[in-house]
Every structure is written in C-alpha cells, then in structure tokens.
Amino acid sequence: MGLVTPAKPAEAPQKTVIDAIRARAKEAPDKEAIVCGDTRLSWAEFDTRSSRVANALIALGVGKGDRIAVLSPNSTAYAEIFIGTLKAGACVVPLSTMASSEALEKMVKDSGSKVLFLADHYRDLAAPFLDGIGAHCVALDFDAPGFDSYETLLADQTDSDPMVPVDWNDPLNIIYSSGTTGTPKGILHDHWMRAIQMERAEPSGYCDDARTLLSTPLYSNTTIVSFLPTLFGGSTVFLMAKFDARKYLEIVEKERITHTMLVPVQYKRIMDVPDFDTFDLSSMRVKFSTSAPLRADVKADVLARFPGKLIEYYGLTEGGGTTILVADEMTDKLHSVGQPGPGTVIKLIGPDGHEVPQGEIGEICGRSPTMMAGYFGRDDLTAEYIWRDENGDMYFRSGDMGHFDEDGFLILSDRKKDMIISGGLNIYANDLELILLRDPDVTDAAVIGIPSDQWGETPLGLVVRKPGSEKTAEEILADANAQLGKSHRLAQVEIRDTLPRSSIGKILKRELRAPFWAD
C-alpha cells in the first residue's frame, strides 16, 4: 500500500475517463467536440486524430505508464495529444509555460518523459535544454532539424483506437509546481482519482449539451477539472489560446457558451470591460471560480450583472479538502469559500499538530476520495504533506490558514508561508489586503513581510491605483491604518504599475519579497 490512502467514495466509479470519451465519440460523431480559434473538430474527427496520436506514440516505443510532455498554448492539437496519450496508456505531463528554461528541464528530466511535443511559440524557451533531455521531440506547428512533424507523424498512422487497457492506479497526468527554485514537485493523478472527479459532471450540467469555454492553460488543474468533465459528458470544449477579456465576452455571445471556469483576476478583468453590459450573455448557465479566493465585492458584481449560477471551489491540485460556495444561493456568505464538498472532511490544526477549537484559525487539512497518488518519485515530500488525526486517517496539509464560522463556512486567512510574524504577533496579509482594496482608488493590492530591525519583519503594502487616480502612497497608507489595530498596521505603502501574477492569476509574492530579503 502506498503512502496515500484516500477516503472511500460513496459509489465507486464504473469507467475510466478515457472509456467514457470513447463511448461519447460513438454516440454523437457529428457533434462538435473541440473548438479553438478557427479550428473546429467533430467528435468523430477528435476521436480519429487522438487515436492517431496514440498509435504514433506506440510506434515511437511508448508503453504503459510512460510520460509524455507538452509545451504549448491551448490548441486543438493539445487536446488531441492529451487524450491520445491516455489512449496509448501513457501519462500526460503538461508543462507550465510560465516556468524558466532551467525549471522546465528539471520537469522533463524528473518525469523521464519519452516524448516532448513543442509549439513554435515556446521554441526559444525550450532551446537551452532540448539536447540534454533524451526525449523524442515533435514539432506541433513548425519545421526544424531534429524534430518530427506532428501532422506527418499522424498521417503515417491508422484511425483505429489501440484500446490499450488501463488500471485504476495507472498514472493519468503529472502536474508540476512552478519550480522557480529547487526541483519542481510532480503531482501525480491516477485514473481512479480523475474518474471519481467525474461524478461532478452530471450535476454540473456537463452532460447536457454543455458548451464550455476555457481560457486558462491546459497545464493547469484549474482547466483540467473542467476540460475532462465536459468531454466525459459528451459536450463541447472551446479553448482560448490566450485570454483577452473582451474576446472572451465575444465568444460567449457568439458561441452561446453555457459553462466556464475562470480564475479571480479574469472575473475582475471581464467585469471591468467598459461595454460589458452590451453583450448578450443569456446562454450562460454555470460559471465556476477557483485557484484563489474570489473577492466578495467581485462575486456580488458577477451575481448582479453576469447571468447564470456562480460556484466557487476552494481546493488544491493535490486534492484532499474541497469546499464549495454556490454564491447565488448563499449571498450572505460571499466572504467565505463555502462548505466542505460531498465526501470531504476538513480539519484545522495548530502549530502543535492538534485540532484548534471552533472559530479559531488553523492550518487547513483535508481528506476525501479525490487525492493525488503522491508527488512523483518523491515519497519523502509526500510524507511531509500528510497529517493524521486521532483515528489514523490521513489528510493533506494545505499550507492555507482559515477558520469556520458558526454555520460551518470556511473563511480563508492566508497562506501559512505568507503569514507575517511581527514582534511575535501573527499578521495575516489577506486581512490587510482586503482593507487596502476597500479604497476606491486601489484596484489591486498585495501585502508582504519585509525585514525590520525592531520587529523582525513588518507588513508592506503594494498597490495598483485605478487609472487616473492621483492619490499618494502616504494617503492610501493613512486611510488603511485608520481601519487597523495598532499591532497590525502597515509600515508603508508603495505604488506599483502592476503586480506579478501566474498564468492562473495568483499573485507571485515570492517575487515581490525577493528584493527585500536578498541580503
């Protein structure tokens, strides 16, 4: 038995994701499966092309469990490779396009990927390490020595599905952490975990002719948890190669989109489009939000002006604890991230590893049927991530801090590593950021701890002003501190043009802190 022992699901899955996708292709071959830009694939075409990918991989010597890496923007080819890899019995390794060349090299080597599919857009990023990774390289949209052509590779294969059988514990994908320092951690999901996630497909409406628009990258679990259920349900996935708020609204209107998965920064940009209210968005049934907390004021704005349900998920790529907030039904709880999802148990623990009393802040630990198989090849790191309760049941530690209110709704405080300890007192950056964001002249904010001779570290506010604002940093600081207790006040505020964010919208606080702690 491995280190990870998830909770048992209420009902065991009956078919793998790939079995369901195979069946859907036969049921509605003429229906659209994947749309990206001007390329539109029917289910029959998508089934054929993904089978050709599988056969090409097998011809290259790929066997069950082998890893296949992809470095590309969203595209129909990316979707074909993702599903074709699974048809070959192999494991998808979608690589972050936000990572450095050095980190990407570590990811490919750590995974032992046999094949790398590369798009022209990221050739320069990959160039420094291609000669040393030992992977067979396939060019998706360019011709160059040392690369096979994707289309030529597919043209040489048959349409027949190789029907490679997979077991529940076979690897399905490895998603790597950002990997800006050290060796990136590969989060391994097996077929069992992904199949259990598909229980959300029908209740979410993915089986009911959904038209799902995804504008986050396919290397992110944020995207995959909507991409796979849509295909599982036999519906249609619309992919954006690059997010643009106005273009997003144009697609929703033109294509009569019914479902979407967005991250908070995207919601804010969409709602701030000047002519937002002129778009016909009446087709939208369900909007999902995840990856970071969606601010209560943005939730309220979405509920007021953007048709359809709004459902927020809080959880981790590793799995474990998931909470759900059906925002349109729980308008008095918009400051929370909801309640534990079906089959999920969440406990909050203190520094001593014991549960904290009701209402107190603790580290969030979660247990559910959907948990990663572990960090790929790193049982040591997996073990560090595990906490066990008094019954011996295993939970995943999130690194997030929070508390439950009297109704059982989870309210996040901060990342444990982002907590500021000033003069021995715990200061949660998120609390200070919410104060800064109340300022009508502030459109974005981050609070970090910087060195202090007197207090060890002290909070610094970094803000982006609304266009046209002339409010000074000193004025913003004074207004914020007037709302804060003496022990939690900001030491200073700096104005920035932008704040660095990952491709799924998370503020990169490590980058913000680095210059202050360099010495």
Count Cβ neighbours within 10 Å for each residue of 134-159 and write b for 16 or more, e otherwise: ebbbbbbbeeeeebbebeebbeebee
pLDDT band at 518 (very low <50, low <70, confident <90, very high): confident
How is domain 419-517 classified at the architecture level of CATH? 2-Layer Sandwich (3.30)
pLDDT band at 363 (very low <50, low <70, confident <90, very high): very high
* Packing angle of the helix pair 296-305, 264-271 (nearest 10 deg): 50
H helices of 161-244, in order, are 191-197, 221-232
Cβ 483 vs Cβ 430: under 8 Å: no
Q: Does residue 1 register a pLDDT over 60? A: no
Beta strands in 128-170, from DSSP E residues, in sequence order: 136-139, 148-149
Q: Is the dihedral of CA 212, 215, 218, 219 positive or negative?
A: negative
Q: State pLDDT tens for residues 249-260.
A: 999 999 999 999
pLDDT band at 182 (very low <50, low <70, confident <90, very high): low
List of residues 6+ apart from 382 with CB closer than 8 A: 3, 4, 374, 375
Indicate where the chain has its CATH 3.40.50.12780 domain(s): 17-242
Cβ 345 vs Cβ 322: under 8 Å: no
Count Cβ neighbours within 10 Å for each residue of 341-371 and write b for 16 or more, e otherwise: bebbebbbbeeeeeebeeeebbbbbbbbbbb
Residue 308 DSSP label:
S
What is the secondary structure of 345-366 as a DSSP string?
Answer: EEEEE-TTSSBPPTTS-EEEEE
Task: Name residue 275's beta-bridge partners.
Answer: none
- Residue 277: per-residue pLDDT: 97
- Residue 178: per-residue pLDDT: 56
Burial class, 435, CB count within 10 angstroms (exposed 0-12 / middle 13-18 / buried 19+):
buried
Indicate where the chain has its CATH 3.30.300.30 domain(s): 419-517
Q: Does residue 179 register a pLDDT over 50? A: no
Mean pLDDT of 182-205: 91
Backbone φ, ψ for residue 379 (5° rounding): -60, -30
Backbone φ, ψ for residue 450 (5° rounding): -125, 160
How are beta strands 136-139 and 115-118 bridged, if at all?
parallel
What gap in Å lies between CA 128 and CA 124, rounded to an integer? 8
> 343-414, what's its fold?
Luciferase; domain 3 (2.30.38)
Q: Does domain 17-242 have CATH number 3.40.50.12780?
A: yes
Cβ 188 vs Cβ 221: under 8 Å: no
Specify the residue for token string 């964001």.
437
- Residue 180: per-residue pLDDT: 44
- Residue 422: per-residue pLDDT: 83
Q: Best-predicted range by mean pLDDT among 22-26, 52-56, 382-386?
A: 52-56
First to last CA, the chain: 45
Task: Name residue 411's beta-bridge partners.
Answer: 403
Joined tokens for residue 396: 């995943």
| Distance from chain centroid for Cα 236 | 20
